[in-house]
């Protein structure tokens, strides 16, 4: 919370205008000459990427910088290739989704920094690269966020030792499954039986593709008490999944990550019980701000944990209008 307050204070200072160390700042846009290549992660219009995109667009409008937007369909190979293209375009900064991980991106970030291009990350952290190059990160501290969701679900849903849970995650992809593994570990630490299923990137682009896998699992594990979904695209489709299997609201608990209008509707229908909010709007806005500050004022990368919030059946109405506006 302290780190977020510092960022907010920085934004306010630029907006109202001030004078520091002999530099006079006036109200207005200070970053018209900064060029940025921004990675939105998914496809245009998908539940998560659209909120990230809106945050970045608002930052561009507020700050006056020039931004080119990249959509990758949550495909890590495509992200890596697009990162190479971004370096070749020679922007001042690149705001990169960290999904490919430290090993894949380290040589490319090295090339970017040698070319004078600043880099910051959103959504998935690359801690080794940050440690070497001082890059920023805007997103959840993934492992603690996942573990907390598991602990919260146990208490909120009154789960017991021996209950069965299914957790979807990007198992086997370095750096990509630590959040869901945190949730699985919390459940296993409490004595629950946890089954892990690898989530496929194409399910984020077309969540209906999950139906055969999920239906097959539930048919073979009729005692499953809870399903943990790895993203808002999937979580927002829970009513469709449950209705396809003839399940009533609450017959199987469904929890996960992210907000969207579809997730709000899933709360209303009673099919979703808990979600952990990653505040994707800020994953768009803050990297743009960070790169402008790095380029123009030589400031360091900002590390901001955006994953502290829990939304459940009792409080989702507080954020309903913001979710429908594409901000939460």
DSSP string covering 166-206, please? EEEE-TTSTTTSHHHHHHHHHHHHTT-EEEEEEPPHHHHH-
Segment 247-253 mean pLDDT: 96
Checking if the pLDDT of 8 tops 70, the result is no
Q: Judge if 28 and 96 occupy the same domain.
A: yes
> Is residue 321 situated within a structural domain?
no
Distances (CA, A) of 128 to 8, 84, 95, 125: 27, 19, 17, 9
Sequence length of the chain is 328
What digits encode the pLDDT tens for the residues 93-108?
999 999 999 999 999 9
SS3 290: helix
> Is residue 119 situated within a structural domain?
yes
d(CA 187, CA 195): 11
Match 């991980």 to its residue by tokens. 101
- Weakest mean pLDDT among 9-13, 61-65, 138-142, 209-213: 9-13
pLDDT grade for 272, boundaries at 50, 70 and 90:
very high
Segment 68-80 mean pLDDT: 94
Checking if the pLDDT of 10 tops 60, the result is no
Q: Judge if 262 and 236 occupy the same domain.
A: yes
> Is residue 155 situated within a structural domain?
yes
- Predicted confidence at residue 299, as pLDDT, reads 93
Q: Characterize the bridge pairing of strands 23-24 and 19-20.
A: antiparallel
Burial of 164 (0-12, 13-18, 19+ CB in 10 A): middle
> Is residue 320 situated within a structural domain?
no
- Predicted confidence at residue 207, as pLDDT, reads 82
pLDDT grade for 175, boundaries at 50, 70 and 90:
low
Q: Judge if 16 and 120 occupy the same domain.
A: yes
pLDDT grade for 82, boundaries at 50, 70 and 90:
very high
Segment 284-300 mean pLDDT: 96
What digits encode the pLDDT tens for the residues 180-189?
999 999 999 9
> Is residue 315 situated within a structural domain?
no
d(CA 265, CA 39): 28
Q: Judge if 99 and 219 occupy the same domain.
A: no
d(CA 122, CA 314): 29
- Predicted confidence at residue 307, as pLDDT, reads 81
SS3 content of the chain, % helix, strand, coil (to 5): 50, 20, 35
Q: Judge if 285 and 136 occupy the same domain.
A: yes
Match 């920023």 to its residue by tokens. 136
What digits encode the pLDDT tens for the residues 26-57?
456 789 999 999 999 999 988 889 999 999 99
> Is residue 325 situated within a structural domain?
no
Q: Which two tokens stand for residue 143?
A: 């492992």
Q: Judge if 129 and 158 occupy the same domain.
A: no
Q: Judge if 56 and 100 occupy the same domain.
A: yes
- Weakest mean pLDDT among 2-11, 30-39, 162-171: 2-11
What digits encode the pLDDT tens for the residues 312-322?
999 999 999 99
Could you list the residue range(s) of the whole structural domain that residue 152 is in? 142-277
- Weakest mean pLDDT among 21-35, 107-121, 165-179, 301-315: 21-35
Dihedral (CA of 197, 198, 204, 209) sign = negative
User: Over the chain, what is the mean pLDDT?
Assistant: 90
DSSP string covering 14-69, please? HHH--EETTEE--SS---TT-EEEEE--S-TT-TTHHHHHHHHHHHHHHH--EEEE
Strands (E), the chain: 19-20, 23-24, 35-39, 66-70, 93-97, 118-122, 136-139, 164-169, 193-198, 224-228, 253-257, 274-277, 303-305, 309-312
- Predicted confidence at residue 195, as pLDDT, reads 98
Q: Judge if 177 and 252 occupy the same domain.
A: yes
pTM of the model: 0.84
Q: Judge if 272 and 298 occupy the same domain.
A: no
- Give the CATH number for residue 160: 3.40.50.2300
Q: Which two tokens stand for residue 269?
A: 């229908």
d(CA 304, CA 2): 9
101 phi-psi bin (left φ>0, alpha ψ -120 to 50, beta other): left
d(CA 35, CA 65): 6
Task: Give the count of domains, the chain.
Answer: 2
Q: Judge if 238 and 204 occupy the same domain.
A: yes
- Weakest mean pLDDT among 16-25, 64-73, 88-97, 315-324: 16-25
Q: Judge if 6 and 135 occupy the same domain.
A: yes
- Predicted confidence at residue 201, as pLDDT, reads 74
- Predicted confidence at residue 232, as pLDDT, reads 85
Q: Judge if 177 and 253 occupy the same domain.
A: yes
- Predicted confidence at residue 3, as pLDDT, reads 47
Checking if the pLDDT of 90 tops 80, the result is yes
d(CA 197, CA 230): 11
Checking if the pLDDT of 300 tops 50, the result is yes
d(CA 223, CA 276): 25
> Is residue 82 situated within a structural domain?
yes
What digits encode the pLDDT tens for the residues 123-165?
999 999 999 999 999 999 989 999 999 999 999 999 999 999 9
> Is residue 196 situated within a structural domain?
yes
């Amino acid at each position: 919370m302290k780190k977020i307050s510092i960022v907010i204070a920085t934004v306010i200072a630029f907006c109202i205008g001030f004078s520091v160390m002999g530099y006079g700042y006036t109200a207005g846009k200070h970053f018209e000459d900064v060029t940025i290549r921004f990675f939105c992660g998914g496809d245009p219009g998908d539940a998560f990427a659209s909120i990230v995109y809106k945050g970045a667009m608002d930052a561009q409008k507020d700050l006056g910088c020039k931004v080119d937007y990249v959509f990758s369909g949550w495909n890590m190979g495509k992200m890596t290739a697009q990162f190479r293209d971004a370096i070749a375009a020679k922007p001042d900064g690149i705001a990169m989704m960290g999904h490919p991980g430290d090993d894949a991106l380290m040589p490319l970030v090295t090339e970017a920094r040698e070319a004078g291009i600043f880099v910051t990350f959103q959504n998935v952290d690359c801690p080794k690269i940050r440690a070497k190059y001082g890059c920023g990160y805007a997103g959840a501290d993934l492992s603690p966020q996942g573990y907390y969701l598991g602990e919260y679900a146990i208490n909120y849903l009154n789960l017991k030792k021996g209950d069965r849970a299914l957790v979807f995650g990007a198992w086997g992809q370095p750096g990509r499954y630590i959040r869901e593994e945190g949730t699985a570990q919390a459940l296993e630490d409490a004595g629950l039986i946890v089954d892990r299923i690898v989530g496929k990137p194409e399910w984020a682009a077309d969540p209906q593709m999950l139906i055969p896998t999920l239906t097959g699992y539930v048919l073979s594990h009729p005692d499953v008490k809870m399903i943990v979904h790895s993203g808002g695209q999937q979580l927002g489709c829970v009513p469709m999944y449950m209705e396809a299997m003839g399940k009533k609201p609450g017959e199987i608990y469904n929890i996960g990550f992210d907000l969207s209008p579809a997730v709000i509707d899933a709360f209303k229908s009673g099919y979703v019980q808990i979600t952990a909010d990653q505040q994707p709007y800020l994953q768009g806005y803050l990297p743009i701000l960070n790169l402008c500050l790095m380029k123009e004022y030589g400031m360091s990368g900002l590390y901001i944990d955006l994953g502290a919030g829990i939304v459940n059946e009792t409080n989702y109405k507080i954020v309903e209008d913001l979710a429908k506006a594409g901000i939460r």
